[in-house]
Copies of this chain bind each other. A is one copy, B any other.
């Protein structure tokens, strides 16, 4: 099943079901007005949403209309919580090597995760308004899961039963703030403005065997303008989403609608490129003694898409970095 949120002038938008080929949509308001509402009442909402999805795919849904991803918000424009892992150790090792950071001795046992802001998540074609090019504007291509309510202390062995939907994310990052915010120990804050999401969230069965071991075994193709920047595969996660969910729920329960992210997708060996500029710059620093690739300039476009069996899964993130207007008050 594929679900999206269309903008309607309200914070949470309105829920639609999207056809498997992403061409058509049908209003789901009679089942649940918003995706968050559907997630909070999943046991009641799942079956009628699925029935509508099947009618939509069969061409028999009343009131079906063309799906326009430019009208889509993030699937959850305002999520209860955004817990972003850094589960590809290859990425972390490159950053440590480039910047001479001492690795955590237990980094292969305890996943890294930061708490992100989740009040203002952006849609797939929304501009990225940021204050200053000098802040080191970067993208990070990721996969994520949206969970139902997860009880405090949920073990990894039971965590995947709480996964409702898979999503694809651009975790926008401002690299100028990262090192200082890491040194304070308080973690990322100004370094992590709003993240963006591909238009469609999908149930795990939509990618068949590519969802296994709590990992999304799909290539994430990241384009910077016309350049294919990278196409790493999500299967190389050093921690599965089962482990990330258990980590997030270790001392708290997670509300339905919590999003758990993989961290920037990264594959060993380098042949597949990178899903963020910082990683390529780290590789350049290691190999050539200096970083060459610049961070994003205003006006640049970033596109991210994942396919399964030759067809797009989540739709594309395709957005432009722009200068934020000066504040008015």
Binding site for B on A (CB under 8 A): 11, 40, 78, 80-81, 83, 86, 104, 110, 112-120, 129-131, 135, 151-155, 158, 161, 174, 177, 180-194, 247-248, 250-255, 257-258, 324, 326-329
Could you jot down 11 A-B contacts, CB within 8 Å? A78-B80, A112-B184, A113-B186, A115-B115, A120-B252, A151-B328, A151-B329, A154-B327, A181-B187, A185-B185, A189-B247
Residue of B nearest to A191 (CB): B251
Q: A118-B81, A120-B255 are in contact. Are A186 and B112 (CB under 8 A)?
A: yes
Check A251 against B151 for contact (C-beta < 8 Å): no
Check B252 against A104 for contact (C-beta < 8 Å): no
A185 CA to B328 CA, complexed, in Å = 34
Interface of A is mostly: loop
Stoichiometry, copies per complex: 2
Check B115 against A189 for contact (C-beta < 8 Å): yes
Residue of B nearest to A152 (CB): B324
Q: A183-B104, A186-B187 are in contact. Are A329 and B158 (CB under 8 A)?
A: yes
A154 CA to B329 CA, complexed, in Å = 6
Check A115 against B83 for contact (C-beta < 8 Å): no
Determine which of B185, B194, B253, B328 lies in contact with A187 in the assembled complex, contact meaning CB atoms within 8 Å: B185
Q: A183-B185, A185-B182, A324-B153 are in contact. Are A255 and B78 (CB under 8 A)?
A: yes
Q: How far is the CB of A242 from chain B (nearest CB, A)?
A: 13
Residue of B nearest to A135 (CB): B251
Q: A119-B258, A158-B329 are in contact. Are A186 and B188 (CB under 8 A)?
A: yes
Check A186 against B151 for contact (C-beta < 8 Å): no
Q: How far is the CB of A77 from chain B (nearest CB, A)?
A: 10
Check A251 against B117 for contact (C-beta < 8 Å): no
Determine which of B112, B117, B158 lies in contact with A327 in the assembled complex, contact meaning CB atoms within 8 Å: B158
Determine which of B40, B86, B183, B252 lies in contact with A194 in the assembled complex, contact meaning CB atoms within 8 Å: B252
A119 CA to B11 CA, complexed, in Å = 16
Chain B residues with CB under 8 Å of A192's CB are 115
Check B190 against A247 for contact (C-beta < 8 Å): yes
Check A182 against B186 for contact (C-beta < 8 Å): yes
Determine which of B81, B183, B189, B252 lies in contact with A248 in the assembled complex, contact meaning CB atoms within 8 Å: B189
Determine which of B151, B153, B184 lies in contact with A104 in the assembled complex, contact meaning CB atoms within 8 Å: B184
Chain B residues with CB under 8 Å of A251's CB are 130-131, 135, 174, 177, 190-191, 193
Chain B residues with CB under 8 Å of A40's CB are 11
Check B151 against A131 for contact (C-beta < 8 Å): no
A296 CA to B37 CA, complexed, in Å = 37
A120 CA to B327 CA, complexed, in Å = 31
Residue of B nearest to A92 (CB): B184
A182 CA to B11 CA, complexed, in Å = 33
Given A115-B189, A155-B327, A194-B252, 18 other A-B residues pairs in contact with their CB atoms under 8 A: A78-B80, A80-B119, A104-B180, A114-B187, A119-B255, A119-B257, A119-B258, A120-B253, A131-B152, A131-B251, A152-B327, A158-B327, A181-B185, A183-B185, A185-B185, A187-B187, A190-B250, A193-B252
A118 CA to B258 CA, complexed, in Å = 11
Residue of B nearest to A186 (CB): B114
Q: A177-B251, A252-B193 are in contact. Are A115 and B117 (CB under 8 A)?
A: yes
